[in-house]
C-alpha cells in the first residue's frame, strides 16, 4: 500500500457509473491526475446503447463539472412530461396516457415541479461526459480494452486472458460449465479468485493503482472472470433481457407536431413522450415456429415494447426475456412485428431508420446480484453489479449506475485516505452504503414484482383481452349493446378457445392469482 502506484484509482468503463465514480473521487479530494478512466470504445460512448430514459436528477451532484448538463449535453434529448403505458395485440392498442404539468419544472403546480426524466442517446452523452472529465483534469483513455486485472503475487502471463471466457474441453452444459482457467494449478486459480487486485493489464503492460473500479456495464467479462458474479453464463438467461431498437429519424418539427411537444427555449429543453407496452403480437409467429421446432412448443416470447422521442429521432424497440424465446423465432423478427403494429407504424410513418442496435439488460433483482461487490483493491458498480430496477411502471438503471458510482467514489476516497483498501474496508463503506441506499430499498420492496412481470399471461391473453374488449365496447357496428362486463366475459370465452395456454391462465383462479400479484407493483 505504501509503495508508489501509477494511479490512485483506475475506472474501467466511461459510462454513467464510471464517470460518476471519477467525478465523486474528485470531490473527495483525489487529484485528477491520480484517476484514470479507460474505455474500450474509441470515440468514447460508441459502444453504449440504451432504450432509453434517464430518470432522476442524480447528475446535479456534479454541477461543478457538468454545468447545466440538462441544456448543454448534446445527448440529453427531450425532457419527458408525457408518459404512456399500454397493451398491444396485432390489431388493437390500448393506452393509459399521462401528461403532467409538474414534470415541466416551470413551477405553479401542486405537485413538486421538477424535470426528472430525459430521453438520452448514449453515444453523444458519454462522449460529452468524457470531455467534461478531461476538463476536470481526469485522465481519460479511449479505445483501451482491459484484458486482465493485475493481481498481487501473480504474473499476469501465468494465464491467458482468453482462458477466462473460453469453455474448457471437458466443459459440461449449463451449470456444470467450466472455463479453461478453472483447469490451471490450484494456487493460480485461488489468486485469480481471491488475490489482492493491484491494477490493470492491457496489451501485456501493467498499470498499477490502489483501487480498480469495474464499471463495464451489463456485459461485464471482468466481474465474471474475477469472481464477483458467477452467474454470467448459460444459467443467467433467466434474468437477462435483450433490447433491440432502431433510431428512426423524423425531424424535430415533425416530432414536435406529432407528439404535441413543447419545442424548447433557452431555459427549458424540448419536451417529449415515453411509452412502454406489453406486447401480445406473436401468436401466429409462435405457432408457426412450434410446428418446425416442437422442442419449445407452448412457449410464447415475452416481449415489452418501448418508444421514446428524442430531439430529431425516436427510439423504437423491444425487450425480450431471453428465457422465453422459443426456437424458430429470430429476435429481430420480433422487433419487426412491433414496428409493423398499426398503432406503432402510424407513429413512425415517414421516418427513416438511421441506426439499429442491441444490448443486454440485467434484471437480476436481488436474487441474482453479484455475490460480492468488493474485493481487496476492487469494487464493481452500475450495470456490471446488476443494479437495474423494473416493476412494470418504471424501468431504471442509469440513475442507479450514477448513484452507485457516487457511493463507490465516496467510499474509495475514504478508504484511500485511511490507507486501507482491503475488501473489508471497502465493504464497510461502499457495500454498506449501497445496501442502505434507495437502490437496495427499491429492489427489496419490489422483489416480487418480477413474478408479475414474467407472468406469461401479460404477454398472451391480457393484451388481447383488454384490446379486444375496448374495441368492442367503444364501437358501433349495429350490434346489440351489452354491458362492458358481459363483453369482456364473452371475449374471454372466445380467447380461451384459441389455445391451451389461454385456457389454463384464464380460469377464475388464474385471473385471481394474477390480480393478487399486481398488489406488489
Residue numbers 98-127 binding another protein by CB under 8 A:
121-126
Name the segment binding another protein (CB under 8 A); options: 20-28, 138-146, 151-159, 372-380: 138-146
- Cis ω before 502 (30° cut-off from 0): no
Helix pair angle (283-292, 331-340), 10° resolution? 150
Least gap, CB of 97 to another protein (angstroms): 25
Name the segment binding another protein (CB under 8 A); options: 20-28, 335-343, 380-388, 393-401: 335-343
Q: What is the CA radius of gyration of the chain?
A: 25
Binding status of residue 346 toward another protein by CB under 8 A = no
Q: Under 8 Å CB-to-CB from 95, ≥6 apart: which residues? A: 84, 85, 86, 275
Nearer to another protein, 200 or 487 (CB): 200
Binding status of residue 136 toward another protein by CB under 8 A = no
Nearer to another protein, 73 or 423 (CB): 73
Binding status of residue 477 toward another protein by CB under 8 A = no
Least gap, CB of 327 to another protein (angstroms): 5
Place of cell 349495429: 478
Name the segment binding another protein (CB under 8 A); options: 47-55, 63-71, 268-276, 455-463: 47-55
Binding status of residue 327 toward another protein by CB under 8 A = yes
Tell me if residue 236 falls in helix, strand or coil.
helix
Binders in 183-212 for another protein, by CB under 8 A:
202
Using alpha carbons, select from 216, 223, 151 the residue that is nearest to residue 21.
216
Q: How far is CA 210 from CA 36, 152, 228, 325, in A?
A: 12, 11, 18, 43
Nearer to another protein, 324 or 437 (CB): 324
Q: Under 8 Å CB-to-CB from 194, ≥6 apart: which residues? A: 227, 375, 376
Contact with another protein (CB under 8 A): which of 102, 113, 116, 219? Answer: 219
Using alpha carbons, select from 277, 283, 355, 382 the residue that is nearest to residue 319.
277
Least gap, CB of 27 to another protein (angstroms): 27
Size of the site for another protein (CB under 8 A): 83
Nearer to another protein, 200 or 426 (CB): 200
Nearer to another protein, 336 or 414 (CB): 336
Contact with another protein (CB under 8 A): which of 71, 340, 346, 482? Answer: 340
Exposure b/e, 473-506, CB count within 10 A at least 16 = b: beeeeeeeeeeeeebbeebbeebbeebebbeebb
Binding status of residue 252 toward another protein by CB under 8 A = no
Terminal Cα distance for the chain, rounded: 47
Contact with another protein (CB under 8 A): which of 119, 198, 236, 309? Answer: 236
Within 110-249, residue ranges assigned H as helices are 122-135, 186-194, 221-225
Q: Under 8 Å CB-to-CB from 463, ≥6 apart: which residues? A: 87, 88, 89, 94, 278, 279, 280
Binders in 275-294 for another protein, by CB under 8 A:
281-285, 288, 293
Nearer to another protein, 289 or 410 (CB): 289
10 Å CB burial of residue 124 (0-12, 13-18, 19+) is middle
Least gap, CB of 514 to another protein (angstroms): 24
CA 425 – CA 435 distance, rounded (Å): 15
Binding status of residue 40 toward another protein by CB under 8 A = yes
Least gap, CB of 516 to another protein (angstroms): 31
DSSP letter, residue 91: S
Binding status of residue 380 toward another protein by CB under 8 A = no
Name the segment binding another protein (CB under 8 A); options: 43-51, 426-434, 444-452, 512-520: 43-51
Least gap, CB of 94 to another protein (angstroms): 18
CA 54 – CA 71 distance, rounded (Å): 14
Contact with another protein (CB under 8 A): which of 333, 349, 485, 494? Answer: 333
Amino acid at each position: 500500500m505504501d509503495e508508489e502506484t501509477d494511479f490512485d484509482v483506475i475506472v474501467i468503463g466511461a459510462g454513467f457509473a464510471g464517470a460518476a465514480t471519477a467525478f465523486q473521487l474528485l470531490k473527495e479530494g483525489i487529484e485528477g491526475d491520480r484517476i484514470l478512466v479507460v474505455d474500450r470504445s474509441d470515440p468514447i460512448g460508441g459502444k453504449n446503447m440504451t432504450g432509453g430514459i434517464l430518470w432522476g436528477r442524480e447528475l446535479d451532484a456534479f454541477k461543478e463539472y457538468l454545468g447545466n448538463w440538462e441544456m448543454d449535453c448534446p445527448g440529453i434529448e427531450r425532457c419527458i412530461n408525457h408518459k404512456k403505458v399500454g397493451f398491444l395485440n396485432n390489431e388493437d392498442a390500448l393506452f393509459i396516457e399521462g401528461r403532467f404539468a409538474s414534470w415541466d419544472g416551470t413551477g405553479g403546480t401542486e405537485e413538486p415541479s421538477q424535470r426528472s426524466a430525459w430521453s438520452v442517446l448514449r453515444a453523444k452523452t458519454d462522449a460529452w461526459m468524457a470531455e467534461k472529465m478531461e476538463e476536470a483534469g481526469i485522465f481519460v483513455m479511449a479505445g483501451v480494452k482491459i484484458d486482465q486485472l493485475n493481481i498481487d503475487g501473480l504474473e499476469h502471463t501465468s494465464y491467458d486472458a482468453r482462458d477466462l471466457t473460453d469453455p474448457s474441453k471437458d466443459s459440461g452444459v449449463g451449470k456444470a460449465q467450466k472455463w479453461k482457467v478453472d483447469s490451471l494449478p490450484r494456487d493460480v486459480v485461488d489468486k485469480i479468485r481471491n488475490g489482492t487486485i493491484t491494477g490493470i493489464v492491457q496489451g501485456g503492460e501493467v498499470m498499477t493503482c490502489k483501487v480498480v473500479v469495474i464499471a463495464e456495464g451489463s456485459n461485464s467479462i471482468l466481474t465474471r472472470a474475477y469472481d464477483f458474479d458467477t452467474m454470467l453464463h448459460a444459467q443467467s438467461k433467466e434474468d437477462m433481457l435483450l433490447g433491440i431498437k432502431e433510431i428512426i429519424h423524423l425531424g424535430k418539427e415533425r416530432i414536435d407536431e406529432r407528439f404535441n411537444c413543447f419545442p424548447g427555449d433557452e431555459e427549458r429543453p424540448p419536451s417529449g413522450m415515453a411509452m412502454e407496452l406489453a406486447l401480445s403480437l406473436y401468436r401466429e409467429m409462435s405457432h408457426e415456429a412450434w410446428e418446425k421446432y416442437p422442442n419449445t412448443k407452448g412457449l410464447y416470447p415475452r416481449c415489452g415494447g418501448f418508444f421514446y422521442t428524442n430531439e430529431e429521432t425516436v427510439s423504437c424497440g423491444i425487450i425480450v426475456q431471453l428465457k422465453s424465446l422459443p426456437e424458430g423465432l429470430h429476435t429481430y423478427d420480433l422487433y419487426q412485428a412491433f414496428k409493423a403494429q398499426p398503432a406503432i407504424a402510424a407513429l413512425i410513418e415517414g421516418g427513416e431508420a438511421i441506426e439499429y442496435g442491441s444490448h443486454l439488460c440485467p434484471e437480476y433483482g436481488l436474487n441474482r446480484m453479484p455475490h460480492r461487490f468488493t474485493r481487496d483493491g476492487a469494487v464493481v458498480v452500475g450495470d456490471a453489479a446488476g443494479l437495474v430496477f423494473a416493476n412494470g411502471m418504471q424501468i431504471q438503471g442509469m440513475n442507479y449506475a450514477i448513484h452507485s458510482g457516487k457511493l463507490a467514489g465516496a467510499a474509495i476516497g475514504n478508504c484511500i485516505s485511511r490507507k486501507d483498501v482491503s475488501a473489508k474496508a471497502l465493504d464497510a463503506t461502499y457495500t454498506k452504503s449501497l445496501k442502505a441506499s434507495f437502490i437496495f430499498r427499491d429492489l427489496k420492496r419490489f422483489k416480487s414484482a418480477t413474478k408479475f412481470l414474467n407472468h406469461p399471461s401479460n404477454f398472451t391473453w391480457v393484451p388481447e383481452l383488454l384490446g379486444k374488449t375496448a374495441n368492442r365496447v367503444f364501437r358501433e357496428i349495429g350490434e346489440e349493446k351489452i354491458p362492458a362486463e358481459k363483453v369482456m366475459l364473452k371475449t374471454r370465452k372466445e380467447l380461451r378457445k384459441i389455445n391451451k395456454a389461454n385456457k389454463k391462465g384464464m380460469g377464475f383462479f388464474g385471473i385471481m392469482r394474477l390480480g393478487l400479484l399486481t398488489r406488489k407493483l
